[in-house]
Amino acid sequence: METIYIGIDPAFRKNGFSIAIIDYSDRTVNFKTFKNGFIDFSSWLLHDSPQSAVVCIENSNLQNSTFDMSGSKRVIAQKSRSVGKNQAISQNTYDLCKVFDKFKTYGISPQQKGKKWTKIIFKGVLESERLTTTAKKISQDEIDGLQIALYGKRLANQIKTINQNIKTK
């Protein structure tokens, strides 16, 4: 059975909590955005998620900074509150996934994830990975989910290789 990779880009805003699910058995990518955020995601996790998967989550709590400090004091305070909300929801998401034995769960910081992909890069990555999707309109959150899922795939493969090397020594 091929491994399923799930990339999660949690957010504490309406329509901002998205996942990408890569299934290498049929080379498809499916996307899901949870309208009610963490609550709907939790329900999906309990009732509809795959039986096993490698899960990678962009956990902004791993990076303790507010990136954009421009604007008035009021604007900066609002940005900091938004960062704090995102740090909390991403840590909660990581913790929830971590308790499921059916998942290998990894958290990465926004810095580890790297620069956001454009739609052109997204299409190129799908082609290079020989993946397809039936999604017609793709959001930036969904693109981020794919980027995170593929990071998780690389991370899981690196860890597998390290563990195999340790066993052979």
- How does pLDDT run across 86-111, given as a tens digit for each residue? 888 999 999 999 998 789 999 999 99
Confirm or reject CATH 3.30.420 for domain 4-168, answering yes or no.
Answer: yes
Say if residue 66's pLDDT is above 60: no
Say if residue 81's pLDDT is above 90: no
Say if residue 85's pLDDT is above 90: no
8-12, 75-79, 148-152: range with highest mean pLDDT = 148-152
What is d(CA 31, CA 68) in angstroms, rounded to the nearest whole number?
29
**Mean pLDDT in residue range 38-57:** 94
Q: Where are the domains of the chain?
A: 4-168
Say if residue 65's pLDDT is above 80: no
What is d(CA 8, CA 90) in angstroms, rounded to the nearest whole number?
9
Phi, psi of 58 (to 5 degrees): -75, 110
What is d(CA 38, CA 35) in angstroms, rounded to the nearest whole number?
9
Q: State percent of the chain over pLDDT 90.
A: 62
141 vs 165, more confident: 141
Q: Give me the pLDDT at residue 1, please.
A: 43
Are residues 64 and 84 in contact, defined by beta-carbon separation less than 8 angstroms?
no
